Protein backbone atom coordinates (compact mmCIF):
# COMPACT_ATOMS: atom_id res chain seq x y z
CA UNK A 1 0.00 0.00 0.00
CA UNK A 2 2.53 2.51 1.14
CA UNK A 3 5.00 0.99 -1.32
CA UNK A 4 2.84 1.46 -4.33
CA UNK A 5 2.59 5.14 -3.55
CA UNK A 6 6.36 5.46 -3.43
CA UNK A 7 7.91 6.34 -6.76
CA UNK A 8 10.10 3.70 -8.37
CA UNK A 9 13.67 4.52 -7.43
CA UNK A 10 14.29 8.20 -7.13
CA UNK A 11 16.28 9.05 -10.20
CA UNK A 12 19.73 10.19 -9.25
CA UNK A 13 20.58 10.95 -12.82
CA UNK A 14 17.49 13.03 -13.41
CA UNK A 15 18.33 15.05 -10.33
CA UNK A 16 21.77 15.77 -11.72
CA UNK A 17 23.56 13.46 -9.31
CA UNK A 18 26.01 10.72 -10.10
CA UNK A 19 24.89 7.22 -9.46
CA UNK A 20 27.13 5.76 -6.78
CA UNK A 21 26.83 2.61 -4.69
CA UNK A 22 26.76 4.73 -1.55
CA UNK A 23 23.76 6.71 -2.73
CA UNK A 24 21.95 3.63 -3.88
CA UNK A 25 22.69 2.02 -0.54
CA UNK A 26 21.26 4.88 1.47
CA UNK A 27 18.13 4.99 -0.66
CA UNK A 28 17.77 1.24 -0.33
CA UNK A 29 18.04 1.35 3.44
CA UNK A 30 15.44 4.09 3.67
CA UNK A 31 13.24 2.20 1.27
CA UNK A 32 13.44 -1.02 3.25
CA UNK A 33 12.72 0.49 6.64
CA UNK A 34 9.25 0.97 8.00
CA UNK A 35 10.38 3.37 10.67
CA UNK A 36 12.53 6.47 10.94
CA UNK A 37 16.25 5.80 11.27
CA UNK A 38 19.05 7.83 12.75
CA UNK A 39 22.02 8.68 10.58
CA UNK A 40 24.05 6.07 12.37
CA UNK A 41 21.41 3.39 11.91
CA UNK A 42 21.33 4.08 8.20
CA UNK A 43 25.09 3.91 8.10
CA UNK A 44 25.19 0.57 9.93
CA UNK A 45 22.69 -0.98 7.57
CA UNK A 46 24.52 -0.01 4.44
CA UNK A 47 25.62 -2.88 2.23
CA UNK A 48 29.03 -4.47 2.68
CA UNK A 49 31.66 -1.86 2.04
CA UNK A 50 30.35 0.48 4.71
CA UNK A 51 30.74 4.08 3.67
CA UNK A 52 31.87 6.99 5.76
CA UNK A 53 29.46 8.73 8.08
CA UNK A 54 30.08 12.13 6.42
CA UNK A 55 28.93 10.63 3.14
CA UNK A 56 25.67 9.61 4.75
CA UNK A 57 25.17 13.08 6.16
CA UNK A 58 25.98 14.76 2.88
CA UNK A 59 23.65 12.61 0.86
CA UNK A 60 20.78 12.68 3.29
CA UNK A 61 20.90 16.43 3.07
CA UNK A 62 20.54 16.27 -0.70
CA UNK A 63 17.81 13.68 -0.54
CA UNK A 64 15.82 15.87 1.80
CA UNK A 65 16.22 18.75 -0.64
CA UNK A 66 14.94 16.52 -3.42
CA UNK A 67 11.97 15.54 -1.30
CA UNK A 68 13.02 11.90 -1.23
CA UNK A 69 13.49 11.83 2.51
CA UNK A 70 12.31 13.79 5.48
CA UNK A 71 13.93 14.54 8.79
CA UNK A 72 11.90 14.12 11.95
CA UNK A 73 12.89 15.22 15.40
CA UNK A 74 11.43 12.73 17.85
CA UNK A 75 10.34 13.53 21.38
CA UNK A 76 13.70 12.09 22.47
CA UNK A 77 15.35 14.97 20.63
CA UNK A 78 17.04 12.64 18.20
CA UNK A 79 16.94 13.33 14.47
CA UNK A 80 15.72 10.53 12.26
CA UNK A 81 15.07 10.12 8.56
CA UNK A 82 12.24 8.54 6.62
CA UNK A 83 11.76 8.07 2.93
CA UNK A 84 8.85 9.92 1.43
CA UNK A 85 7.64 11.26 -1.82
CA UNK A 86 7.25 14.94 -2.45
CA UNK A 87 3.49 15.13 -2.32
CA UNK A 88 1.91 16.71 0.71
CA UNK A 89 1.61 14.15 3.45
CA UNK A 90 2.20 13.46 7.12
CA UNK A 91 3.74 10.77 9.23
CA UNK A 92 1.91 8.80 11.82
CA UNK A 93 4.27 7.12 14.23
CA UNK A 94 3.74 4.37 16.78
CA UNK A 95 5.07 5.43 20.15
CA UNK A 96 5.84 1.89 21.16
CA UNK A 97 7.55 0.26 18.18
CA UNK A 98 8.41 3.28 16.08
CA UNK A 99 6.72 2.00 12.97
CA UNK A 100 5.33 4.75 10.77
CA UNK A 101 2.56 5.15 8.27
CA UNK A 102 2.34 7.82 5.64
CA UNK A 103 -0.93 9.68 5.58
CA UNK A 104 -1.90 11.28 2.32
CA UNK A 105 -4.55 13.76 3.27
CA UNK A 106 -4.88 15.60 6.49
CA UNK A 107 -8.29 17.21 6.19
CA UNK A 108 -6.99 20.39 7.71
CA UNK A 109 -7.91 22.74 4.92
CA UNK A 110 -11.17 23.98 6.39
CA UNK A 111 -9.61 24.51 9.82
CA UNK A 112 -6.74 26.44 8.31
CA UNK A 113 -9.06 28.84 6.52
CA UNK A 114 -10.78 29.47 9.82
CA UNK A 115 -7.51 30.09 11.61
CA UNK A 116 -6.47 32.56 8.94
CA UNK A 117 -9.51 34.66 9.72
CA UNK A 118 -8.90 34.54 13.44
CA UNK A 119 -5.21 35.29 13.33
CA UNK A 120 -4.77 37.58 10.37
CA UNK A 121 -2.02 35.30 9.08
CA UNK A 122 -1.88 33.83 5.62
CA UNK A 123 -1.00 30.21 6.21
CA UNK A 124 1.35 28.89 3.57
CA UNK A 125 2.72 25.71 4.99
CA UNK A 126 2.18 23.32 7.86
CA UNK A 127 3.72 20.30 9.44
CA UNK A 128 1.64 17.76 11.29
CA UNK A 129 3.17 15.04 13.40
CA UNK A 130 0.89 12.29 14.63
CA UNK A 131 1.68 9.82 17.38
CA UNK A 132 -0.20 6.83 18.68
CA UNK A 133 -0.31 3.08 18.90
CA UNK A 134 -0.33 0.85 15.86
CA UNK A 135 -2.69 -2.09 15.56
CA UNK A 136 -0.07 -4.67 16.49
CA UNK A 137 1.12 -2.84 19.59
CA UNK A 138 -2.39 -2.14 20.75
CA UNK A 139 -3.20 -5.83 20.46
CA UNK A 140 -0.03 -6.88 22.22
CA UNK A 141 -0.24 -4.29 24.97
Question: Which one, 22 or 133, has the nearer CB to DNA?
Answer: 22
Distance of CA 102 to the CA centre of its chain: 9
d(CA 106, CA 17): 33
Q: What is the DSSP letter of 78?
A: -
Interface region with DNA, contact rule CB under 7 A, candidates 16-24, 83-91, 100-108, 132-140 = 16-24
Question: Which one, 8 or 141, has the nearer CB to DNA?
Answer: 8
Considering CB distances under 5 to 8 angstroms, the limit depending on partner class, which of DNA, a copy of itself, none binds residue 115? a copy of itself
Least distance from C-beta 118 to a copy of itself, angstroms? 8
Determine whether 30 is exposed, middle or buried from the number of CB atoms within 10 Å of its CB (0-12, 13-18, 19+). buried
Question: Which one, 27 or 94, has the nearer CB to DNA?
Answer: 27
Instruction: Check residue 20 for interaction with DNA (CB under 7 A).
Output: yes
Question: Which one, 51 or 85, has the nearer CB to DNA?
Answer: 51
Instruction: Check residue 95 for interaction with a copy of itself (CB under 8 A).
Output: yes
Residue 100: count other Cβ atoms within 10 Å of its Cβ: 22
Which residues touch 82 (CB under 8 Å, ≥6 apart)?
30, 33, 35, 36, 37, 69, 70, 72, 91, 100
**Binding site residues, a copy of itself, CB under 8 A:** 71, 73, 77, 92, 94-95, 101, 103, 106-108, 110-112, 114-116, 118-135, 138
Amino acid sequence: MADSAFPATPSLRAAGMRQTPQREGILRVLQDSDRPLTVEEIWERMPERRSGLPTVYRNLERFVQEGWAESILGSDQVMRFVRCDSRHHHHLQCERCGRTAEVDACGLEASLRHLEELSGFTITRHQLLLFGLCRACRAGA
